[in-house]
Every structure is written in C-alpha cells, then in structure tokens.
Amino acid sequence: MKLLASLAVGAALFCGAAFAEDEISPARLTLAKEVMQLSGATSAYDNYEKNLDMMVAQLRRYLPGADDATMADVKRIAIDEFTAYKPTLLENAAAVYAHHFSEKDLKGLVSFYKTEAGKHYAAEMPALASESVKLTEPFTERFMAKLQEYIAKRAAAEQKKQDEMLPAVPPADKKKSPEK
C-alpha cells in the first residue's frame, strides 16, 4: 500500500512539473482566443440554444410523460446554466488551444484566418464538417448492423453455455393430486 501511495505522489509531482514547464502566457491565451473567434470555433458555444432544442426533443423521448411546461423549464434551466458557465468553457477551450500551439503558431493562424482564404475556410468549415459526417453514415449503419449481429450471436452462445451448465431438472410428477 505504501508503494502505491509513493507511486501516486511521484506521478502527481511529475505531472505537476510537466505542466509547469508549459505555462501559458497571457499573450498566448489572448492569441488562442483570437484564433478561436476567427476560425469560427466559438460558434458552437454561440449556437447552444439551437442545439439545446434538439437535446430537449431527444430528452422528451425518454420522458414521454413530461408536459410542455416541464420541458420549457428544463430548457430555461439549461440555458441559464450554460450562460453562466460559457465564459469558463471558452477560457478552458482557449487554454487547450494555447497548450497545443506555440505563440508563433498562434500568430500564424491569426494571420491566416485574416486572409481571404482563411475567412473562406472558416466560413466553409461547418459545411465541410457536416458533409464529412454524412459521408460516414453508410459506414456507421453497416458497422452498427454488424455489431448488433455479433452481440446477438455472442449473447446466444453465452446463453447456450449457461443452459448447458444447469443441472437437468426432472420432469414434474404427472400424477394428479388427490382431490379434497
């Protein structure tokens, strides 16, 4: 147990030192935020209410007895929570960008997104992503069908094994019990 605790403390110290080496400067964080804005990465956070409508519709399927007022309350609560948390989400996302890109890289990305090609790329990115996802749908459908088939076969094989391991139950006595 002491060995495990020592390893955990050592790992925490090592990870802390590794993150300390990659401290993010305020300038780098500002550049990361600018890249997110120029690239359209923040639009996912801006379109939250539209996405929430879809989530509420899905939730309604799981809660068929919920009335419209309840679902409206759920949506309002979710919007309020997200609105309060959005600045933190954006700050954390910017930190992720700043962690993955150097200040020099971020400056290059800002420059790129300010060009006509960069603006065009940012504008087309949602359509590119949507169309790319649609291209995977036939594969996903085939994969899911094969996966369901595999799971059904495995479940049947496991059930057969369990059935074979059960002791044989003698047939019930077919004699009629005496009537009273």
Instruction: Note whether 25 and 90 are within 8 A (CB).
Output: no
Q: Is residue 68 part of a domain?
A: yes
Instruction: Give per-residue pLDDT as tens, 31-85.
Output: 999 999 999 999 878 777 777 888 888 888 888 888 889 888 988 998 899 889 9
Name the pTM for this structure.
Answer: 0.59
Q: How confident is the model at residue 109, as a pLDDT?
A: 98
Q: Is residue 47 part of a domain?
A: yes
Which domain does 101 fall in, by range? 23-114
Q: Is residue 97 part of a domain?
A: yes
CA 25 – CA 33 distance, rounded (Å):
13
Count of all residues that appear for the chain in the document: 180
Instruction: Give per-residue pLDDT as tens, 71-85.
Output: 889 889 988 998 899
CA 98 – CA 34 distance, rounded (Å):
11
15, pLDDT greater than 50: no
Q: Is residue 134 part of a domain?
A: no
Q: Is residue 177 part of a domain?
A: no
The gap from C-alpha 162 to its chain's centroid, in whole angstroms, comes to 36
Q: Is residue 155 part of a domain?
A: no
Tally of structural domains, the chain: 1
What does the block give as tokens for 57? 């519709």
Q: Is residue 99 part of a domain?
A: yes
| Secondary structure of residue 180 in the 3-state scheme | coil
Q: Is residue 83 part of a domain?
A: yes
